[in-house]
Amino acid sequence: MEKNGLADRHRERKVGRWVFGISAFFFISFFLTPFLLPTGSVPELGARANALDYATADGAFSGGNSQDGLRHVHDDGSIHLHEPFAWTELDPYSGFIYMFGDINCHNKHERSWVLNENQMPVCTRDVGIFFGLAMGGLVYSRFGYNRWTVRDSCLSLLPDAWLEGIYRTNRRTMAWIGLGSLLCLPLILDGFTQLLTGYESNNFTRPLTGAPFGFGIAILTAAAYSARPHFFKNASEVVLPANAKFELQTEDE
């Protein structure tokens, strides 16, 4: 019997591996695609997040290839006009990865790494987020348990001995929100500090702040897909820390 009272944790392993596999695929692809393309074929990008700006060289969905988008001002004041870039002209694999980055990322050159003289498909923050997503899925596949609710399934990653006081005083929601906020805090602090002050993070700190956020999202996603009450006969069968038990409340008539 597993520590949640079920005979096995097959679903938790499966869900965690799916989260890990999908996230790791994108994380590795972000580094791989610049090397699969000809050297120097991806110019300095920079457009909008949640929009298609590099689907075509001109016309619809080519906002990044506008006159302003093609113009790059160097630190010495010199101006360089680079060639248009369109991911629809790439091979299917590279095109898909750069399409993913085009839709989901702002693609700002100064916030991205360059490999093989090609800008990566996403910024360094997103690289960190996907690393965190992959690690979160891997951790959940090994240590996560279905404990009826999403909240308790997330908390199952911690040793039961650490959770006894929390379950004894029924502070599960507070602990869940607190731990989730802690994982989001580095990204929030970094982002709002940039917004409200003259501070500008660099390509070393940005992935470091993105990784904890991605880790938390992966745990939440894996818990949401693996927390299934119907695997238990009733709520009281769920094994919880400190010998706590769930009780389903019924409305008095």
Residue 92: predicted pLDDT: 97
Q: What is the mean pLDDT of residues 7-18?
A: 96
Is residue 249 over pLDDT 70? no
Q: Which residues pair with 114 in a beta bridge?
A: 119
Is residue 229 very low, low, confident or very high in pLDDT (cuts 50, 70, 90)? very high
Strands 79-81 and 71-73 turn out to be antiparallel
Q: What is the mean pLDDT of residues 195-203?
A: 82
Residue 79: predicted pLDDT: 66
More confident call, 127 vs 251:
127
Q: What is the mean pLDDT of residues 6-32?
A: 97
Percentage of the chain beyond pLDDT 90 is 68
Is residue 141 very low, low, confident or very high in pLDDT (cuts 50, 70, 90)? very high
Report the alpha-carbon distance of residue 71 to residue 77 in Å, rounded: 12
Is residue 251 over pLDDT 60? no
Residue 1: predicted pLDDT: 85
Residue 72: predicted pLDDT: 64
Residue 10: predicted pLDDT: 95
Residue 46: predicted pLDDT: 84
- Residue 30: how many other CB atoms lie within 10 Å: 26
Q: At what angle do helices 205-226 and 172-196 cross, to 10 degrees?
A: 150
- Residue 21: how many other CB atoms lie within 10 Å: 13
**Mean pLDDT (the chain, rounded):** 90
Is residue 75 very low, low, confident or very high in pLDDT (cuts 50, 70, 90)? low
36 membership: H or E segment, kind and range: helix 10-36
Do residues 112 and 124 touch, judged by C-beta distance below 8 A? yes
Lowest mean pLDDT, pick from 51-55, 127-131, 138-142, 190-194: 190-194
- Residue 138: how many other CB atoms lie within 10 Å: 20
Is residue 25 very low, low, confident or very high in pLDDT (cuts 50, 70, 90)? very high
Give the 3-state DSSP-derived string for 1-15, with helices as H, strands as E and coil as C: CCCCCCCCCHHHHHH
Supply the DSSP symbol for 58: S
Percent of the chain that is helix, strand, coil (3-state, to 5) = 55, 5, 40
End-to-end CA distance of the chain: 38
Supply the DSSP symbol for 71: E
Residue 170: predicted pLDDT: 92
Report the alpha-carbon distance of residue 114 to residue 239 in Å, rounded: 50
